Every structure is written in C-alpha cells, then in structure tokens.
Amino acid sequence: MTELKDEHLEVISKNKSKKYEIDKMVEQLSDAKESVAVLSNAIECGFLHDKHSLILQEWIVEYEELSQQLDTHLTEVRDHGWKST
C-alpha cells in the first residue's frame, strides 16, 4: 500500500513540476510580448536618435523570435505532452 502511495506522490510531484515549467514559459512569453510593445512604443514616440531606434528594432526582432519559440514550444507541450529529456 505504501509503495502505491509513493508512486502516486511521484506522479503528483512530476505533474506539479511540469505545471511550474509551463507556467514559467507562459510568464516568459508574456514578458517577451510586453517588451516588444514597450520598445515599439518608444520608437513610435519619435524622440529617439535614429541609431538608438535601430538598436531597439534589433531588440524587437530578438524578442519577437523568443516569443515565437516560446509559443511554439508551449503549443507542442499542450498538444503532445511534455517530452522528458
């Protein structure tokens, strides 16, 4: 009986860990999208020097790529489950 409970506890622990990791990715995705919005807004204000706007545009590309990667990974995890490595 104790062995069965230990197995259940292990499954519960793994599921909590997976949920934590997914929640963490969701938060990272939200942060990346917010970064794009903030940087875009700074450029739109028009008070930055051109060279600084170009730098921010490069950062926007990086955050957009990160957003896409996180979104793709989250979709795969949700659709196909968590793959252990």
pLDDT tens profile 27-84: 999 999 999 999 999 999 999 999 999 999 999 999 999 999 999 999 998 888 766 5
pTM of structure: 0.78
Q: Is residue 85 part of a domain?
A: yes
Q: Is residue 7 part of a domain?
A: no
Closest to 25 in 3D by CA, of 85, 61, 80, 78: 78
> How many alpha carbons lie under 13 Å from residue 63 in its C-beta half-sphere?
19
The residue range of the domain holding 51 is 23-85
Task: Please determine, for residue 85, whether its predicted confidence score (pLDDT) is greater than 80.
Answer: no
Sign, Cα dihedral of 51, 31, 75, 70: positive
Q: Is residue 15 part of a domain?
A: no
Q: Rounded to whole angstroms, how far apart are CA atoms 21 and 42?
A: 31
